[in-house]
Structure 1
Amino acid sequence: METILSVRDLTVAFHTYAGTVQAVRGVSFDLKKGETLAIVGESGSGKSVTSKAIMRLIPNPPGEITNGEIIFEDRDLVKLSDKEMQKVRGRDIAMIFQDPMTSLNPTMTIYKQIAEGLKRHQGLTGDAAKKRTLELLTLVGIPNPEARLKQYPHQLSGGMRQRIVIAIALACNPKVLIADEPTTALDVTIQAQILELLKDIQQKTGTAIIFITHDLGVVANMADRVAVMYAGKLIEKGTVDEIFYEPRHPYTWGLLGSMPRPSDDRSQDLPAIPGTPPNLLHPPTGDAFAPRNQYAMKIDFEKEPPFFRITDTHEAATWLLHPQAPYVEPPAAIRDLALKYRPDSTFAKSLLKGGLK
């Protein structure tokens, strides 16, 4: 598939009274046309900052894109002026934020909020704008759309408000849609509806989606590819099956091991990754995950690991993939997933031999 967006060595810093926070540190990835790329990781790992950097929504001061490129349609978005970026934002690249109540203007009707983008980017007014607004409300599953035009955000439920936010994002037929934890503020039933809606919209429109989340359960049903982020860096990238059933980074093992499963004994505590992420005011030397990694070696504390290529679509930044690294035994939950769902994979076969290499 053709690449529509390329992020190269993106670095974002926030200058605070306490010092400079290195929030995003050399992130690189590609987004293909029509695919969903999920970026996952704990809170504070840099996922949302990365997405806002793509939209050029980092507040300056205190934030600043200090290095890197964001290539979209042969243009580097980092180098565009604010006026030039305004033409891209909303029309070519749109964003769905976490909380619909803070994304919507409480003083404007639903119609005015959707029609604003139609007028600015497509020149639609009057009956044409109204017709397109009704089409969008129908697309996102709003019942009785005509009656919603004069309503205000507070008159709608949380799920309906999020559908309105999605309608605004889709108004100008963007080529890239960034969804920043769009279901976090919603209950479980509404979450499922919104996720199904996004999948359906993608099939109808062919929009490429960057899906930001900390919920790996969501990723399994939404994503084509997954990028795992920790302490401002990407540490593993692969297809959704490779990340779920053949993970290679110990942090990815921890995330997958922390997922509740229907067969789990509810009387037992859910496994958790010990420790906390590092303070990015003072990024650590070596592998940032080393202090929390039970498999860490001396080199993890001294030198940052490069990405080791596993397949054409799968790579991970861990010294465990170095040819001279010792064999290790992944957690039982990771072994069980691989042996059950990918028994013929190289990963599963290496586990059966007694270790991972």
Structure 2
Amino acid sequence: MEKILEVNNLNISFDTYAGKVRAIRGVDFDLNKGETLAIVGESGSGKSVTTRTIMRLLSSNANIDEGQILFKGQNIVDKTEKEMQKIRGREIAMIFQDPMTSLDPTMTIGKQVAESLRKHKNVSKKESLKAALDLLNLVGIPEAEKRLKNYPHQFSGGQRQRIVIAIALICNPEILIADEPTTALDVTIQAQILELLKEIQEKIETSIIFITHDLGVVANVADRVAVMYAGKIVEVGTAEEIFYNPQHPYTWGLLGSMPTLESENDRLYAIPGSPPDLLNPPKGDAFYPRNEFALKIDAEMEPPFFELSDTHKAATWLLAPQVAAVTPPAEIQRRWDIFRKKQSQYSA
């Protein structure tokens, strides 16, 4: 498959009063044309910082210390702000988590959806509003023509998120970054938005990077999954490989912590401890203090990636040839089985 985006050895730090926080530490991944890549991990793992760097939307105290972000062969890191303004919205667009902070309360929805098209493609007001209407119909806004002159507060939360998606898609971007787009929505609307993104991707053949802390959300959306922890990618594989053959203990914990709703007394599994302080990144494996299967080497050396297939690799010493095979706890495996059964029923 043709790669549209390559991130190589990305290192990002933030200057703070307490010192330099090394938020992203040697991240590598790529995105193929027409593919959906999900980046998952706990809050603070570096998901949003990584994708905001692709858009070059970092705060003033952020530093790109090292690395490349190649978009169609060109390094975004070297682009000026003026050059990035031509890329944002037109070639790479982003859907943010909270639609109310993304929408201007003083502008009508029609103008907001059409604005990016007028700016980037120099079309007339009439043409841009027609395109906005077509897109609002595509994303499922009822009576879209009548509602072009409505304001954000006149829409429900789910409808506002659909409008934000329309704004991101108006220029037919080649890459769409969705940063936790369903977190603030109830489960029914969440499912509708996820289905909508799948349908739109098939129609306009855009590539999607989907950011979430919930592996369950991406089970039926992602082609590939990258798991992030403490500013690093620790496991990457196809969605099937991550859900049916996870290899990193952190991925085990994320899968095990998903609610199954099997019974009223079903207790969530919780990964013990908390992520490390990236003011002083750990010497060895960052997950070492929280890993019940940790080895002595974990405290001393950072694990390399061990390849399980052409598409699946994980950075854990548990995969070293000289280490005896380790299996996840029975309780976690039980939860996986329930989840997988529900996913197969949903996909049927």
Q: TM (normalized to structure 2)?
A: 0.95
Instruction: Give the aligned partner of residue 239 of structure 1.
Output: 238
SS of the aligned residue for 1:323 comes to coil
Give, in whole Å, the separation in 2 of the partners of 1:189 and 1:49: 28
Instruction: Give the aligned partner of residue 287 of structure 1.
Output: 285
Instruction: Give the aligned partner of residue 311 of structure 2.
Output: 313
Give, in whole Å, the separation in 2 of the partners of 1:77 and 1:315: 27
**What do the CA deviations read for 1:264-310 (whole angstroms, capped 9, x no partner)?**
x4314211100000011111110000000000011000000010111
Give, in whole Å, the separation in 1 of the partners of 2:207 and 2:12: 24
1:195 corresponds to 2:199: no
Instruction: Give the aligned partner of residue 10 of structure 2.
Output: 10
Between stretches 301-310 and 328-337, larger displacement belongs to: 328-337
8 Å Cα contact 1:111-1:150 kept in structure 2 = yes
Q: CA deviation at 1:109?
A: 1.0
Instruction: Give the aligned partner of residue 55 of structure 1.
Output: 55
* Equivalent AA in structure 2 for residue 17 of structure 1: Y
Flag the 1:260–1:338 CA change in 2: closer, same or farther, 3 A. Answer: closer
* Equivalent AA in structure 1 for residue 179 of structure 2: D
Between stretches 329-338 and 2-11, larger displacement belongs to: 329-338
SS of the aligned residue for 1:229 comes to strand
8 Å Cα contact 1:253-1:331 kept in structure 2 = no
8 Å Cα contact 1:246-1:338 kept in structure 2 = no
Matches within 5 A, 1:165-204: 165-204=164-203
Instruction: Give the aligned partner of residue 20 of structure 1.
Output: 20
Give, in whole Å, the separation in 1 of the partners of 2:43 and 2:59: 19
Q: CA deviation at 1:331?
A: 1.8
Instruction: Give the aligned partner of residue 220 of structure 2.
Output: 221
* Equivalent AA in structure 2 for residue 305 of structure 1: P
8 Å Cα contact 2:260-2:338 kept in structure 1 = no
**What do the CA deviations read for 1:188-213 (whole angstroms, capped 9, x no partner)?**
11111111110110011111000000
**What do the CA deviations read for 1:302-342 (whole angstroms, capped 9, x no partner)?**
00001011100000000011111122232225545479979
8 Å Cα contact 2:23-2:278 kept in structure 1 = yes
8 Å Cα contact 2:96-2:178 kept in structure 1 = yes
Instruction: Give the aligned partner of residue 132 of structure 1.
Output: 131
1:330 corresponds to 2:328: yes
8 Å Cα contact 2:269-2:332 kept in structure 1 = no
Q: CA deviation at 1:85?
A: 0.7
SS of the aligned residue for 1:132 comes to helix
Instruction: Give the aligned partner of residue 163 of structure 2.
Output: 164
8 Å Cα contact 1:202-1:208 kept in structure 2 = yes
**What do the CA deviations read for 1:98-144 (whole angstroms, capped 9, x no partner)?**
00000111111111111210111111122211111111111111111
8 Å Cα contact 1:95-1:180 kept in structure 2 = yes
* Equivalent AA in structure 1 for residue 15 of structure 2: H
Flag the 1:55–1:49 CA change in 2: closer, same or farther, 3 A. Answer: same
Flag the 1:185–1:268 CA change in 2: closer, same or farther, 3 A. Answer: closer
Give, in whole Å, the separation in 1 of the partners of 2:14 and 2:122: 37
Q: TM (normalized to structure 1)?
A: 0.92
Identity value in percent: 66
Instruction: Give the aligned partner of residue 88 of structure 1.
Output: 87
Give, in whole Å, the separation in 2 of the partners of 1:45 and 1:187: 24
Q: CA deviation at 1:92?
A: 0.4
8 Å Cα contact 1:245-1:334 kept in structure 2 = no
* Equivalent AA in structure 2 for residue 101 of structure 1: M
Question: What CA RMSD, in Å, does the superposition of the two structures yield over aligned residues?
Answer: 1.6
Instruction: Give the aligned partner of residue 255 of structure 1.
Output: 254
Q: Which residues of structure 2 form unaligned runs of 5+?
A: 342-348
